[in-house]
Each structure stands twice: as C-alpha cells, then as structure tokens.
Amino acid sequence: MVEKEIEEKVYKSIIKTIKDTPLEEFYTSGHRTCQGCESALVMRFLAKAAGQRTIVIGATGCMYVANTTYYSTSWIVPWVHTQLGGSGAAALGTAAALRALMRKGKIKQEPINVIAFCGDLGCADMGLSGVSNAMTYDYNLLIVLYDNESSANTDIQETSMTPYGAQTSFSRPGKQRRIMKKRWKKSVVPMIIAGHRNIRYAATMTPAYPLDSINKIRKALAIGGPTFIHSLDPCPKGWDYDPRFSHELGVLAAETGLWPLYEYIDGEIVYNEPTKSIVEGRMKRKPVKEYLEKQGRFSHFTEEDIEHVQRMVDEMYDEWEIPGVMPIKSLNVKISDK
Amino acid sequence: MTEVKKLVEKEVLMNGTQAVAHAAMYADVDVVAAYPIRPYTEVMDTISKLIADGELDAEFIVAEGEHGQFETVKHASLAGARTLVGSSGVGWLYGMEAIVVTATDRAPVVAIIGNRALDDPGAYGVEHNDALMVRDVGWLLVWVDTAQEAFDTTLIAYRVAEDQRVLLPLGISMDGGFLTHSEQIVRLPPKELVKNFLPPYNRGKYLVHPDNPITVAPQVNEDWVMEIRRQHEEAMERARGVIVEAYEEFKKVFGRYPGSTNELQMPENPFVEPYMIDDAEVVLIGMGTVSKPMKVAIKNMRRQGYKVGMLRIRWFRPFPTQDVIKYLANSRVVCVVDRDYSMGSPNRGGVVYHEIRSSLYDLDQRPRVINFIGGLGGREITIQDVEKITKIGYEHRDTPITKPVYWVGVRGDPW
C-alpha cells in the first residue's frame, strides 16, 4: 500500500534529467545575495521544484535580508517573513489555516505547498523546538534548513552547525587557544527522523547536485505530511574561498564523507550520489584535507587538527550503526531471556 | 428589533474564560493556538472541548511555547483564518517577539490575556503589567469587567480588529482569578444573530494565497520604516471610530448594550464606564474588576455625603483621551488605582496614572491626580481600601497634593 502510493505519487514527480526541469522560475532576479551564494540556489530550486501553488515562509537570516528588500522581492510565489525561531510555528499556522478554510468552504479546495526555510541559527538552534513541534502534526508542510555553517547575515558567527575548529567571529583562533569551536556539528536529520514517528520523508542535500536537490524537494512535497530537508550551502563570505569554487566545495563535502547525502523514506535510509558509492564500497572517500585546505576558515589548522577531523569522519563510516547518519555505534546487543 | 424579540437569549452560568471561548465559537474561529499558563488556560480548555463536541469547527494547535503559539496564529491570520490565542504573565512575555510583529504585520489576531503578575517570586495573581507590555507597539487593548462583557467584547473584538480600516491585533484583558475563574450569569444571544453582527474575515488584497502572490514583511531600513509606522498609527486612530460603530451595531442587532445584562442600565460610552460621576468632586479610576469594590464603596460614601464617582477605563489602546477629559474636567481630585507599576517612572507611579495625567495636562483647570498602587500579585483591593482612597482624595479638594503616589495596604507602610 505504502510502496504503491510512493510509486504513484513520488516517482511520477521525479525529474529524470536536468533537461526535464521546468523552465519557469518562481525565485528570480531582484535579490542581492553574494556572488557564489549556494543558499540562493537552494531558494531557486525549492521554488522551481514546488511550482506556483506554493506559499513560502522565510525566517530571519541572510536569505531574508538579501532576498526581500522592501519594494523589491525575488519571489513570484507568496512569501511571508517569520521570526528567527518561528519557522515551524509559522508553517503550522499557514497549513492549519489552509486546512480549516478549505474544509469550511471559505477557500477553494486544492493542494497548496507550504514551505518554510530557516538558517542554521534559526532552525538548528533557536527554532529547533518549533520545527520539532511542526513535525509532530500531520499537516502538509516542508521545512528546509539552509545551512551555511554560521550566522551569515550578522557577519559570520558560530552556531551549533559550525564545523569543528572553523573560524568565525565568535570562534577566532588566538595565542592561547587555536581551536575555539570544539563542539562537533549537530546531526539534525537523524534527530528529526528518530524523534518523530509520523514523518515519512527527510533528506540531506547540497545544491552542488541540482537534480538530486530538486527531486528531494519534489519527493518531500509529493509524500506530504511534515517533511524536512537539510541543505549544506557553501558560503564564500563565511568560508573564505573564491566564489567560483562553491559547487566544487559542495561536491568535496560529499566526496570526503563530511556531508553524507541520503534520504529517509518511510523508515528506510537511501544513500544518494557519491555517498551511495562510498557506503556501498564502490568509491573511496577523499581525504578531508582536500576540503579543509581550500577554505580560509580552516587556515589555522595544523596536521594534527586535520587528522582529528579525518578520524571523526572515518568513525562515521566505519563504526556507526547506519554509516554517516546515526551517531550510534553498533553494540551487537543480544537480547537475553533472563 | 422585532426579530430580536422572537429569538430568545439563553442565560448560562460561566466564568470569564468560558465566556470568551463561547464567543469565539459564535465567531466561528478557524485556527486556535494554545499553550498552557494559568489563569488564561481555561479559555483553551473550553475551546478544545467545544471542538471535541463538534460545536466548533477549527484547527486546534498546541504550540511548543508562547513564541510558537503567537507565530502560528499570526501566519494563520495572514492566510485568511480567524484566530484565537491567549496567554498570561510571563507566557505573554515569552511570546513577545512574535506578539510585536503580529501588530507590524497587521494580523488581526484576537488574544485573551488573563492578567497575571510577572512571576518572580512565583506570583500568579492578577497584575496588569503583562498586557501593558504591548501598550506602545500597536495592539488594541481592552479591559473587561464581567463575564458578560468578556463575551460581548470578544465578538466586538473580531469586528474591530478585522475591519479593513484597522487590521490590528487586539488583546482582551481580564483580571486573573477575579474574572477568569469566577462564575456569573451570561446572556448568550441567539447564534443566528451573530452573523448579522460579525461579517466574515476578509483580508482583501493582503491575503497570503497563491492567487495573490504578495511578499509580506520584506526587510526595511531607514528609507521606509517611518512611513510604515505612521500608517500603523493612523490605523490605531481609525480604530476609535470603528469601535463606536461596533458598539452601536451590537446594540442594534442584539437589542442590548455590550456588557449589560439589563436593558435598563445601559452604559453609554464604549471606551469608559462612568458611575455616579455627574456631580462627583472625587473620581476613582481603575481598570478591570477593581470597579466592583469601587462601586460598593461609592454607594457607602455617597450615603455619608461624599460626592464621589468612578470612571472605569475600558479601552486602553487607543486611549480614550477625549472621554477622560469629558468626564474628569469638572472634578476636583482624580484617584487613579493602578494594578500595575512603572518602575522608576516620573513620580514613581503606575501606568494608568501617567496616561491620565498626560490626558489632563492641556486643560486650563486641571483636577489634581493622586495615584494608588494596589492589588499587585492578586492581592484584594477591599471596599475599606477604596473608602480610604476616597477620603485621601477628598482631603485634597482644596489643598495641594503632598504625596502623589500611595501604595495601598503594604505591610509596614502606613498610608
């Protein structure tokens, strides 16, 4: 039943090649994001993937400040601002309003996509409880975490999504302490899928893989209910690299294994793109050094620091119960009768 | 009017929160967002039961906190849904970021504020400082006094807030405990008549829907925010006229004045409730249920020959400056009883006191204004307290005020 439903609803919505993507844009000119901004690409993909019958809600963050300056907007679909920690609640409110108004015959009955996006500060930190609450209801809504690993609109501050050791204005290397950010990046998607039973689709993505990204958004909307996507968005300003390498860094994040690409569909993990080859043993992970040395935010790293990151990534694939996804080691627990 | 007589009102015993919940049901709200904090919570308890019983068709969202609660209704309202929300005390403050932008986004959310002290040390009795936190950010604010007034004002609230000339959120304040939890007889009008009074919510060109692809609340800086604030302020000013219209229409449709249970005792001003004020030399001023001990004390004092009256402030935003002037211009002394406090303010007084003093400032012949801080944290303001307040006011009919602010009945602080 479930498989058949997915067969009919989801795989029909999948785009086979990049040539088959719709030409219409619903996120267009008028924004003033930085050169090489991958988050702007995420906005474009999500609007393109969702189409015209969509309401987009954007939390405070760089994608608010850069995209919707008063008297100019880059959104063709309706767009509403929500507060930094409000994405989950705002999506709930919108979806609830649509359901009530349609049921009561106050507006036309039709499927309308509700998508809320939030940055790492707004989603993974402050807004996490709201996102989690939204995931416990059965409304059709998609929450997209666009993660540039810092608070990019306030001049690059540390968040819980900032990777180990990266320089931000809250985590500058100094004379006494080289590594200020010792916390490891939070795993949001596993947290969402492990903690919310009714959620049927969640995924990680990076706009370096456009078709994969667009299809993930389409699948989320087709499966429906509360859904969640976490996108890693290289950010030239915050990560300190030449803007032309944005895509390259996205690809490297996946190929080094630092950013596993996978989706969770109805209780199953499916790996995508290079992560699929890595997990299936058909491809060797690239050393994390290749990814780290291309970014100014890691310029203070010594060989020791790089080794530490490499060890942590190795552990993700060699020791975790679900490689690269669940930070739980295999215990081989035997259930005893006694 | 003939139609009114045919459809009979129902008399039911209910408390203030239940009255509000029933009014929201009559108003056919679409989305309700709840999060518990006493004493407002029973509004949501009642609504949830009304939905479960099929009396009301609405989405009931239990939020993860007040911030989420107010964001939920804000966005539901922008998408065209009639909403109900509410909170008390520190819960109201926890949602404050979302509460403030609800006003700037011009979402006509109706919120019930079961007034409560701002917590530490753990206080949950009535105090008005919670609701007053939004006095400067563009919320309409009204204080109700009885369960009947709570019911009627809720219907009026949707009509005023959703009016295209206004489109502002509205907070209905009721005293925690004294009104939220005390049962009174409420006259419920025939449901059919509510449709005649309350038009459906129509956001017009501001509706968020794929058919109307607008961008709401884009980022502004110094180049536009002044104009936006000014428009907001003008909407607040227009609300005065809309409130008057709503009260008159209420009277026409339901055959009685909002808040009155008796056609013979119809108060005549929507913004304030005057009581024995025509010849009063001393006028007592308060908001909410403090009017009850005031009315009893006034009757007692009148019998003893004191010319004392009362003016209950009903609408706090927009502030009824002209009505205050009209009723107070001929009095000698005004005693403002504040169930709130403004720390470090001029004269170290309460919020209402400062508003009243400011309203009277331009008069050539100003009455003297004395402030009484009382009833904080839910402490009762007794009839004896009011009589003492009156006597202090009376002493200053001809003599200048020596002490502008008194704290009513504080231990170790003779007053």
- CB–CB contact B64 A88 (8 Å): yes
Residue of A53, A71, A89 lying closest to B71 (CB–CB): A89
B225: nearest CA partner in chain A: A70
Q: Please give the sequence-ordered ranges of beta strands (E in DSSP) within A266-322, or none if there are none.
A: 268-271, 320-322
**pLDDT over 90 percentage in chain A:** 84
d(CA B212, CA B209) in angstroms, rounded, equals 5
CATH of the domain at A199: 3.40.50.970
Q: Does A210 touch chain B (CB under 8 A)?
A: no
CA distance B374 to chain A (A): 37
**Residue A309 within a domain:** no
Shortest CA gap A84–chain B (Å) = 10
What pLDDT is attached to residue B414?
Answer: 77
Q: Is the Cβ pair B74, A75 closer than 8 Å?
A: no
A208-215 mean pLDDT: 96
Q: CA-to-CA distance for B19 and B151, rounded, in angstroms?
A: 5
Lowest mean pLDDT among A239-243, A332-336, B364-368: A332-336
From B216, which residue of chain A is nearest by alpha-carbon distance? A80
- Do residue A89 and residue B200 have CB atoms under 8 angstroms apart? no
For residue B4, is pLDDT > 90?
A: no
Closest CA to A102 of A114, A117, A116: A114
Amino acid at B285: I
Residue A322 contacts B, CB cutoff 8 Å: no
Digit-coded pLDDT (tens) for B264-313: 565 678 999 999 999 999 999 999 999 999 999 999 999 999 999 999 99
Report the candidate in B391, B131, B140, B385 with the shortest Cα–Cα distance to residue B242. B140
Q: How confident is the model at residue A77 (pLDDT cuts 50, 70, 90)?
A: very high
Q: Which of B67, B73, B219 sits opposite A69 (nearest CB)?
A: B219
* Residues in chain B within 8 Å Cβ distance of A130: 64-65, 67-68, 71
| The pLDDT of residue B86 | 97
In a domain, A106, yes or no: yes
For B49, other C-beta atoms within 10 Å of its C-beta total 13
Amino acid found at A15: I
A-B contacts at Cβ under 8 angstroms: 160
pLDDT in the model for residue A118: 96
In this complex, which of A57, A72, A101 lies closest to B81 when CB atoms are compared?
A: A101
Contact between B209 and A78 using a beta-carbon 8 Å cutoff = yes
Using a CB-CB cut-off of 8 Å, the residues of chain A touching B217 are: 80-81
Q: What is the pLDDT of residue A2?
A: 63
Does some domain include residue A313?
Answer: no
Instruction: Establish if A130 touches chain B: CB-CB under 8 angstroms.
Output: yes
| Residue carrying structure tokens 């909170």 | B87
Whether A332 maps to a domain, the answer reads no
Taking CA atoms, what residue in A is nearest to B212?
Answer: A78
Query: For B72, which of A54, A55, A93 is closest by C-beta distance?
Result: A93
Residue A337 included in any domain: no
Assign A139 a pLDDT band (cuts: 50, 70, 90): very high
Q: Cα separation of B247 and B249, whole Å? A: 5
Residue range A249-255: average pLDDT?
97
Q: Is the pLDDT of residue A221 over 70?
A: yes
Residue in B57, B67, B217 closest to A80 by CB: B217
pLDDT of residue B111: 98
Cα(first)–Cα(last) distance of chain B, in Å? Answer: 52
A chain contacts of residue B72, beta-carbon cutoff 8 Å: 89-90, 92-93, 96
Mean of pLDDT over chain B = 94
**pTM for this model (two decimals):** 0.94
Q: Is the pLDDT higher at A145 or at A11?
A: A145
CB-closest option in A70, A78, A103 to B214 = A78
What is the percentage of chain A residues whose pLDDT exceeds 70? Answer: 96
The nearest alpha carbon in chain B to A62 belongs to B219
**Beta carbons within 10 angstroms of residue A136's beta carbon:** 16
Determine, yes or no, domain membership for A54: yes
Tell me what ipTM this predicted complex has.
Answer: 0.94
A152 Cβ neighbours under 8 A, 6+ residues apart: A39, A61, A62, A119, A235, A237, A238
Instruction: Quote the pLDDT of residue B267.
Output: 63
Residues of B in contact with A78 (CB under 8 A): 208-210, 212-216
| Residue A37 in tokens | 């901004």
| Structural domain span for residue A262 | 4-302
Q: Tokens in use for A160?
A: 């819980």
Which A-chain residues 131-160 have CB contacts (< 8 A) with chain B? 132-133, 137
Q: How confident is the model at residue B17 (pLDDT cuts 50, 70, 90)?
A: very high
A315 inside domain:
no
pLDDT of B9 over the 60 cut? yes
What is residue B25's three-state secondary structure?
helix
Contacts of B68 in chain A (CB under 8 A): 86, 88-89, 92, 129-130, 133
B98: nearest CA in chain A? Answer: A83
Does the pLDDT at position A333 exceed 90?
no
pLDDT band (50, 70, 90) for residue B368? very high
Chain A segment 226-285 residues within 8 A of B by beta carbon are none
Distance from the first to the final alpha carbon of chain A: 38
- Would you place residue B412 in the very low, low, confident or very high pLDDT band (cuts 50, 70, 90)? confident
Residue B49 pLDDT greater than 90, yes or no: yes
- SS3 for B29? coil
Is residue A277 pLDDT above 80, yes or no? yes
Contact A100 B71 (CB under 8 A): no
Would you say residue A314 has pLDDT above 60? yes
Q: What is the mean pLDDT of residues A144-170?
A: 95
Q: pLDDT band for position A336 (50/70/90)?
A: low
pLDDT band at residue A135 under the 50/70/90 scheme: very high
User: Quick one: pLDDT at residue B260?
Assistant: 78
Query: Taking all residues of chain A, what is their mean pLDDT, rounded to a whole number?
Result: 93
pLDDT above 70 (res B2): no
Q: Which tens digit of pLDDT belongs to each residue from A6-63?
A: 777 777 788 899 899 999 999 998 888 999 999 999 999 999 999 999 999 999 999 9
CB–CB contact B216 A94 (8 Å):
no
Band of residue A335 on the pLDDT scale cut at 50, 70, 90: low
Whether residue B316 contacts residue B141, with contact meaning beta carbons closer than 8 Å, is answered with yes
Q: Nearest chain B residue to A103 by CA: give it.
A: B57
Structure tokens at A66: 């850069």
Residue with tokens 């970014």: A295
CA nearest to A79 within chain B: B215
Answer yes or no: do A93 and B212 touch at CB < 8 A.
no
Which tens digits make up the pLDDT trace of B306-335? 999 999 999 999 999 999 999 999 999 999
Q: From the list A89, A101, A130, which residue is nearest B30 (CB)?
A: A101
As for how many domains chain A has, the answer is 1
Helices (H), B162-267: 191-197, 225-254
What percent of chain B clears pLDDT 90, i.e. is strictly above it?
89
A115 touches chain B (CB under 8 A): no
Tell me the nearest-neighbour CA distance from B82 into chain A, angstroms.
Answer: 8
Q: With cut-offs at 50, 70 and 90, classify the pLDDT of residue B415.
A: confident
Q: Do B72 and A83 touch (CB under 8 A)?
A: no
- To test the contact with chain B by mutation, choose from A32, A55, A64 the residue with the greatest count of B C-beta atoms within 10 A, namely A55
From chain B, pick out residues whose CB is under 8 angstroms from the CB of A99: 59
Alpha carbon distance B98, B104 (integer Å):
10
> Quick one: pLDDT at residue A337?
61
Establish if A21 touches chain B: CB-CB under 8 angstroms: no
B6 pLDDT tier (thresholds 50, 70, 90): low
- Decide if pLDDT at B263 tops 70: no
Domain assignment present for residue A51? The answer is yes
- Show the DSSP H helices in B28-88 as ranges: 42-52, 66-78
Residue of A nearest to B228 (CA): A70
Beta carbons of B97 and A83 less than 8 Å apart: yes
